[in-house]
Amino acid sequence: MDIKDTNHKKKLIITIIIAVIIATLSGIVSYFRFPKSLENIAEDGLYHRPEVIPSDIKIIAIDEETLQKLGPYSDWDRSYFADLIGVLNASSDTSPSVIGIDVVFSGTNYSKEDDMLVDACSIYDNIVVASTINIDNQLYQDMDEKYYTIKYVSGEGKPYDALASVVDYGFTNAIYDDDGMVRKTYTSWKYEINGETVVYDSFAYKIASKIGDVKDYPLQVEIDMASKPGEFEAISMSDVLDGTIPVGYFNDCIVLIGVYEEGLMDSYRVPVDYSKQMYGVEMQANYVYGFLNDYIIYSVNTTVQFILIFIIVFIFSMFVLNNRLKPSVVGTVAIIPVYVLLAVVIFETTAHKLNILAVPIGAVIAFLVSVLLKYIDMQKQRMYEMRDMLFSMAEAMAETIEGRTPYNANHTKKVAERCMELIDYINEQHKQKRTELSFTEDDKRQLYLAAMLHDVGKMDIPLRVMDKATKLGNREAELRARLENISLRIENDALSGRISREEANNKRDKIKEFVNNLGAFNCGRPLKEDEWKLVDEIAESKYVGSDNIEIPYLTEEEIDDLHIIAGTLSDKERDIMQSHVVYTDKILSHIKFGEHFKRVRAMAANHHELLNGKGYPKGLKDDELDTMTRILTIMDIYDSLIADDRPYKKPKSVKVAFEILDEEASVGKVDKELLEFAKELYLKDESNSEE
């Protein structure tokens, strides 16, 4: 009962930790609005839903019809706008409440038309015109000699002086998001310089302020637009000028005058409609309506949002991690629309927007983690049912090992077969009372399984090491090509007079001698004294070109490889090869062998240990190595010696193999008694085959 309670508490603690991690990740997602592009799309679709088309805000459009009647916009003088102001303000009883001209009149040629516009605007106080500002950074140093920057207005594209003195004006700069969308606008721009506060109001904020009291909003706000592109009522400017539209039509309205033609390059991408762009004058109309009616979208404080999302995802994670798959699926499907509904309710009641994707992302992660954990639990249960599959698994793994390379074919199976043959032979000798040694069927099964798995770690050994038939491996062709190139360079140096012909011939002859003997140097046999001398001479040689760039005849790696005393593996590669027993132990540590196979892992992992403690990887000694491990060691060495598929050596005869094993036994490496039985078994077979 105590164990059960302990396991339950342990599982609960792990579940809480996982839930906290998932909830924290979700909070981080909300904090950084990741992935930003998808989050923008989700928020645009949920929070930007135009519902009202104001009737008291009208647009007088500089459209295609107007351009056809009045001519190209670039040829216009300002008398057209003076005339339009005069028409709209013809009677105080029918005049608009505000006329906003979304045109920047930044320059003047002191013409009578410019004066006409000034005269028209000076009569009325309901006119606001557009301007622009340039925002730059200024570096300052405080009293503590720390530097800081202030953004300030370095220039203003305001109306020409005469006009600026008789009208109100505000800037129309757009604020672009990373995706090119315009979601926010300025209310004003404020900054302090030399102890004074400088304020520039935006065009829309200035118009709204002329209508009534407007809240003191932050300098940048996100407007919940009232209309999509093209939904505000837009009347052609030419129709107003020629009297087609009665003057009283604009009575007490907010009238915005601006570009309504694509060719005039004043349109923007907005969140309310991805399919088409909105003209700048339409955006200003939306901004004015937003300021007047508090259609502002606020973002929830990042800390508050983090905590809220953390709590929601934590509770959901605990739910799915502690329930079966079906309720987890239902919960995952349900939480997303529920959270979206919560976000909508909060937005509708407070105008504050929540991050949309954080909770769905957290919910999906929690669900996937719960599925993964459930799968792991299921696999644990199945492991107990797989005990009878150990032998087939071992055979499959052996097949995989031996299938990786042609130089290891059937080694594992042959070692396992020889182990069984030797055990059976020893049991026969026991029956004849020649030895006290004997083995049970359980012993045989364990040894067979250990033999089938003893080289499983070779799956982690690179094939470039396992298949290395020569000292240089696959680098021989590269070396030959380099030496051929150096030889040609030396010949060119002789032809150009950089070195003498005699010196060039000596160097080229030495390279040729080395290349001609490279096959002998590259094989696995020990080199003779004169061969070592030539290898060392080439290893120390370098070609120095006219540009003083040095090209060594041999790379450091090639030098190390050619200096291998015997065999084809360097010390480093031999270490890699020998590490297969470490990997074997590591791989087998993941298998639950059970009581009947409890010695398998140790036997497989220790098959390269020697009785005198000079084996690897642990350096175990005779009192730490049981009889079956000793049998496996002898059979592994024996099969390696007589194998005819190794790239680095020729196969030994059975007789020579046992002579080598006798030498190993004489220095205390392998078990003498077991070796004698092996000799009796296989030398007898060898004698019979010779006869």
DSSP state of 663: H
CA-based nearest residue to 62, from 42, 84, 43, 34: 84
Q: Which pLDDT score, from 0 to 100, does residue 71 have? A: 93
Q: Which pLDDT score, from 0 to 100, does residue 140 have? A: 66
Question: Is 346:356 a contact under the CB 8 Å cutoff?
Answer: no
Low-confidence ranges of the chain (pLDDT < 50): 1, 384, 689-691
> H or E stretch including 158?
none
Q: Which residues contact 359 (CB under 8 A, 6 or more apart)?
A: 26, 309, 312, 313, 316, 335, 336, 339
- Structure tokens, 131: 């301007």
Q: Which pLDDT score, from 0 to 100, does residue 57 have? A: 94
User: b/e per residue, 433-460, with b = 16+ CB within 10 A?
Assistant: eebeeebeeebbbbbbbbbbbbbbbbee
Question: Is 138:152 a contact under the CB 8 Å cutoff?
Answer: yes
Question: Is 133:189 a contact under the CB 8 Å cutoff?
Answer: yes
DSSP state of 76: -
pTM of the model: 0.57
State the Cα–Cα distance between residues 94 and 82, nearest whole angstrom. 18
CA-based nearest residue to 604, from 639, 622, 631, 623: 631
Q: Which pLDDT score, from 0 to 100, does residue 384 have? A: 45
State the Cα–Cα distance between residues 135 and 158, nearest whole angstrom. 14
- Structure tokens, 204: 């829309």
CA-based nearest residue to 354, from 363, 366, 342: 342
CA-based nearest residue to 422, from 226, 229, 680: 680
Q: Which pLDDT score, from 0 to 100, does residue 276 have? A: 93
Q: Which pLDDT score, from 0 to 100, does residue 468 have? A: 66
Residue 613 has φ and ψ, to the nearest 5°, of 80, 5
pLDDT in tens, 166-188: 999 999 999 999 999 999 999 99
Cis bond leading into 50, ω under 30°? no
Q: Which pLDDT score, from 0 to 100, does residue 556 have? A: 82
Question: Is 471:523 a contact under the CB 8 Å cutoff?
Answer: yes
- Structure tokens, 100: 């906003």
State the Cα–Cα distance between residues 131 and 110, nearest whole angstrom. 19
Location of structure tokens 């310089």:
193
Q: Which pLDDT score, from 0 to 100, does residue 142 have? A: 66
C-alpha triplet 581, 587, 634: angle, nearest 5°: 35
